[in-house]
Amino acid sequence: MLFNTLGFILFFIVILILYYAPLLGWKGKKIMLLLASYVFYGLWNPPLILLLWISTLVDWTAGNKLYKLSDKARKKLWLLLSICVNLGFLGFFKYGEFLLNNFIDFVSLFGIEYVPPEFDIILPMGISFYTFQTMSYTIDMYRDRIKPAKTFLDFALYVTFFPQLVAGPIVRSGELIPQYYEPKKASQNQFVLGMLLLSIGLFEKTVFADSLFAPVSDRVFGTDGNLPAIDAWAGVLAFSGQIFFDFAGYSLCAIGIALTLGFKLPDNFRYPYGAIGFSDLWGRWHITLSSWLRDYLYIPLGGNRGTLSRTYVNLMLTMLLGGLWHGAGWTFIFWGFLHGFYLIIERLLKDKVSIKSSNILLNVFLAFLTFQCVNITWVFFRAQDFEMAINLLGSMFFINEGKPLLWTSSMVFVFGLMTLVFAGHYAMRNKSLVGVIESSPRWFVTLIWGIMIFGLFIVQTTGKQFIYFQF
């Protein structure tokens, strides 16, 4: 079920009625939320709920064993079981075809023609998100950092809570499970704020991502030929805007929906296109994933505790696996490589170049430079293959020449809007959306809210899938 559909709006209204009507006790409300989450997920493909149930049962059992056992060897076995089950599902459903195709290419180097039986593997929606979420539970339990959930119901709801089940934010158990222990009810201000965040998220997804940026992006990335530089840049900038408003919009919807029920989810975006440098970027883009990779991959690899070269290796490995997390393809891995490369270059320069943080012009320049480097990485993220990515980069940097593809009005619109996006992100670097809403005059917030609702009615929802659902 998609947030940007009439079906979800009706589903959400029913949930709110059942949640706030004096019909159910707290336990009954949690059971209702759990069943609703299964319905929310199962309407897409009912049999794949089995994966959720298996993951839930395995990690609940492993978590309890890890908490009770004192023998380290036996604890490791339970942790390995949890990791193997979760990564096994992820590996089979998400990377099975990718690994098989690479195996075929590899054996063909030796003159062996291998034709595998045909597989029709469906990628379960959101498997990368809930897999990482449940793995963090058992890993933290193994490290003795958390206690197990008090009841199976609390743990099952943690795994499947519908606002963030499919595309995050990736929530740690300590952030969400304790919220289930006491009855939750949104205050009037929380409910209104939640509905406003939901509206902003839907507006970002439906109006900006799907209606304004996607047509330009799809056209440029859907062409086989070379392009003039200005067309190529317009297409890449359009995708840059599309993927931000698509994913940040989803996160805002998730946070807003949870807030209307009285639950708080962590921020996932903090104006990433205003970042100065790539360390700053990863503290602003998909924050819950980058912190997950830091805590469960980068630091266990050694982090920055070893030599400088070892730190660079750890950084690169983390970003390569971060790229692979996003998609089963070499272009995604190369996208991760570019981010790892940028992070290493940034660290090298920081050790040798002193920059005055009070120089506004310099900061704007560095933010703009970071933004353009990010745009280059998006080429590999969005392109179907390396050939397309290289051709598009050739067009962007005047190496290739081609026939114009886009209308002048489209390019003016994309360049103008992305300039505003960059300026807005830079201006909001040290602020939060909720903070700005709460400090703004109520009449102004109401006016903007009304304009967004009007815009949603004018554009109307297309029911287009969120980009990150495929991950």
Cite the active site residues. Answer: 326
Distance CA 302, CA 323 (A): 20
Give the Cα separation of 306 and 314 in Å (integer): 10
- The DSSP string of 9-33 is HHHHHHHHHHHHSTT--HHHHHHHH
H-helix segments, 204-329: 214-221, 229-260, 278-281, 287-293, 299-301, 308-326
Query: How far is residue 37's CA from residue 51's CA, in Å, rounded to a whole number?
Result: 14
Token digits for 66? Answer: 């890890």
The span from the CA of 429 to the CA of 17, in Å, is 38
Hey, what are 298's tokens?
Answer: 């980068």
Give me the phi and psi of 57, to 5 degrees please.
Answer: -65, -45
State both tokens at 52. 């959720």
Helix (H, G, I), strand (E, B) or coil at 40: helix
Q: Are 311 and 279 in contact (CB under 8 A)?
A: no
- Residue 392: exposure state from Cβ atoms within 10 A (0-12, 13-18, ≥19): buried
237 near 415, Cβ under 8 Å?
yes
The secondary structure of residue 25, as a DSSP letter, is -
Cis amide prior to 47 (ω within 30 degrees)? no
The 8-class DSSP code of residue 419 comes to: H
Q: How far is 91 from 213, CA to CA, in rounded Å?
A: 33
Q: Which tokens go with 117?
A: 């039986």
427: Cα within 13 Å, side-chain hemisphere: 8
Please report, in angstroms and rounded to a whole number, the separation of the first and last CA atoms in the chain.
16
- What's the rounded Cα separation, in Å, for the pair 154 and 379? 41
Residues whose CB is less than 8 angstroms from the CB of residue 258 and which lie 6 or more positions away in sequence, other chains included: 161, 163, 164, 194, 264, 265
144 dihedral zone (left: phi>0; alpha: psi -120 to 50; beta): left
Cα–chain center distance at 170: 8
Cβ–Cβ under 8 Å, residues 94 and 123: yes
